[in-house]
Chains A and B, each alone.
Chain A
Amino acid sequence: MIAVTTDGRDIDLEVAKLSGEGALQKVRPVDTHMQRVAREWGKLPTPDTSDPTYYGRPVLKEPVWHWAIPLYFYVGGAAGASLVMGSAAQLDRSGELENLMRRCHWAGIIGSALSGAILIYDLGKPSRFHHMLRVFRPTSPMNMGAWILSSVSPSAIVAAMFAQRRGILGAFGEISGVASGLSGLALSTYTGVLIANSAIPVWQESRRVLPILFGASAMASAGSIFDMFFEDRAARRVTYTFGTVGRAAELAASIALERQAGRVPHVARPLHTGASGFLWKTATVMTAGSLLLSVLPGRSRKRRVAAGVMGTLGSIMMRYGIHQAGVASARDPRATFRQQRAGHGAAELD
């Protein structure tokens, strides 16, 4: 009988003894390169325990929206602000602003139709948009947005059909005009609430400014479109004033947003670095440029078109910049950790 030697594990160590031709070979010591590698491997990873992350992996999921959503923010904003302008033009009883009113209504109709198309494209099929209209949920800004967008087109269409008629139909058209202006106000600003109501640090941190920035940018977008495409003596100064106020407000809100987000410096980082930082900064320069062109004395057609182009680019790039900043913010676990450690998580609600 063979004696079984054991080291505590219930196995026969004799079986593990190497024998045979292969077992007799002399093994070369590992070369110096491998020794160096082995030394490196022997070291324990020493992460900074005062500021830990989980292998640098994100805490949050990044926004899953692609290019269509920032484009919707721009188109919806421009459509909404146009309707607001069209609604205000009803105050003028001289009839000189009728062209402006009609154009505003049409901008609203086309813009909201395009917005719906973009959203349905993003969702994949029309029934998916309809799912949002099954319920009315004030806790969900996106649900509110679905209702707002759905109220824009009908009111704008009725306004476009009847606003310039006389009698009861005209009154009906005017009421619809006002309604389209109100839904336009909501359409061009709610998108700010939509992204502010999220766990993404840079969006959540700037929630008090985002709706104002988006609203101001919508005004600038509408003003820029009229700057570029329409030459209407009577309406020119109306759209110019509206657009210029929008550009100034957009610039001011951009600065305010950087400061709000910058209350926790790490949270504002995507606004300064990377693709989002480039988009955001270029957008600010464009908006500032268009504002400068519109306030300098003298209003040649060429200069108005240039201001319009710059204003449009500024508004579009701003929305893509904010979107990309959200993506970068979600990817960075320290943005979440530092925001909440700085007392800007649930603690600031007390």
Chain B
Amino acid sequence: MPAKGFFTDTTLCIGCKACEVACKQWNQLPDDGFFFTGMSYDNTVALGASTWRHVAFIERPVPLQTQDAGAFSWLFSSDVCKHCARAGCLESCPTGAIVRTEFESVYVQPDVCNGCGYCVVNCPFGVIDRRSDDNRAWKCTLCYDRLREDMQPACAKACPTESIKFGDLDHLRAEARARVEDLHEKGLREAYLYGEDEHSQPGTGGLNAFFLLVDKPEVYNLPPDPVVPTKKAKDAWTSMGVAAAGMALAAVGAVLWGKER
């Protein structure tokens, strides 16, 4: 089974939030309450247990070649779980509830998840979260149920501008690189791919849901150099070895030389 994923081309996004709605409808996710944030048109705020697509609205006092608004540009980006090649949530899960599927996506098995919350602190993108009723972790499934029926994920299906493209990863990467070249030729030199493979994002081994951006990752609330925490765990385990050895020595020393004579 070829690896499947998303290529989200943010230059095509028009901020309609059809992806958010389609996701909520298909996956039968509840609303997150209705409030006005004042953050441009973004009243969704962030991804979470009940929000698996989130459109970011960025208002910049910076001109953009493809937009005609003077010293101002508006960026939209539909954020989603990245289904990392090395996933922090998957590697840290103590129950094995989080698995890699035949589509190379990262899937949480709801009947195995024990609600420990460890994946939440291990996601370098702040994607996965616990639902507040029974504490189990929920996130985008890459519409696993739809993929099994040869359908594309609901968000990609609903996207009216094909800003969200779904398909075989190899195919998407080629398409994305061609698109960047095309944009560069049109004068949009800022365009680049975020996390399209291991080379561009070694910390996660590449993202199965990658993006085309036109500003720093921080602008879109994406980390500039994310890393799966497990890659750094060796330092901590070594330190634990040192701590244990020191404690054993202290205890033996205390008994041998510390006893009341």
Interface residues of A, Cβ cutoff 8 Å to B: 44-47, 49, 52-55, 57-61, 63-65, 81, 84-85, 87-89, 91-92, 96-97, 122-124, 128-129, 131-132, 134-135, 137, 139-143, 145-146, 181, 185-186, 188-190, 192-200, 203-204, 207-212, 214-216, 218-219, 233-242, 245-246, 249, 326, 330, 333, 336-337, 340-341, 343, 345-347, 349-350
Contact = CB atoms under 8 A, between A and B. Distances in A.
Contacts of B232: 196-197, 204, 207, 349
Nearest to A142: B94
Contact of B118 (A142, A210, A345): A142
Interface string B237-260: 111101110111011111111111
Contacts of A204: 229, 232
B251 A340 contact: no
Interface of B: 37, 39, 42, 45-46, 48, 56, 58-62, 72, 88, 91-97, 112, 114-118, 120-130, 134-135, 201-204, 215-216, 218-227, 229-233, 235-240, 242-244, 246-248, 250-260
Contacts, number: 286
Contacts of A185: 244, 247-248
Given A132-B94, A346-B226, A196 B117 contact: no
B251 A84 contact: yes
A117 B62 CA distance: 56
B203 A192 contact: no
B240 A211 contact: yes
B236 A211 contact: yes
Given A52-B219, A63-B117, A134 B126 contact: no
Contacts of A91: 252, 255-256
Given A88-B252, A346-B226, A212 B126 contact: no
The A interface is mostly helix, strand or loop, or mixed, namely helix
A329 to B, nearest CB: 10
Contacts of B216: 52
Given A142-B94, A341-B224, A207 B121 contact: no
A345 B223 contact: yes
Given A128-B114, A134-B95, A134-B96, A197 B259 contact: no
A59 B254 contact: no
A200 B58 CA distance: 25
A128 B115 contact: yes
B88 A199 contact: yes
B255 A199 contact: no
B227 A137 contact: no
Nearest to A54: B221
B122 A198 contact: yes
Contacts of B252: 88, 91
A92 B118 contact: no
A172 B239 CA distance: 31
A132 B92 CA distance: 12
B96 A135 contact: yes
A211 B239 contact: yes
Give 5 closest A-B pairs by Cβ, nearest first: A346-B203, A345-B225, A215-B243, A54-B221, A241-B258
Contacts of B115: 123-124, 128
B250 A242 contact: yes
B235 A219 contact: no
28 contacts: A45-B59, A47-B60, A47-B61, A49-B61, A52-B218, A61-B128, A84-B247, A84-B251, A91-B252, A134-B95, A140-B93, A141-B236, A185-B244, A197-B233, A210-B236, A211-B236, A212-B246, A219-B250, A234-B259, A234-B260, A238-B258, A238-B259, A241-B254, A326-B121, A330-B126, A337-B224, A340-B225, A345-B203
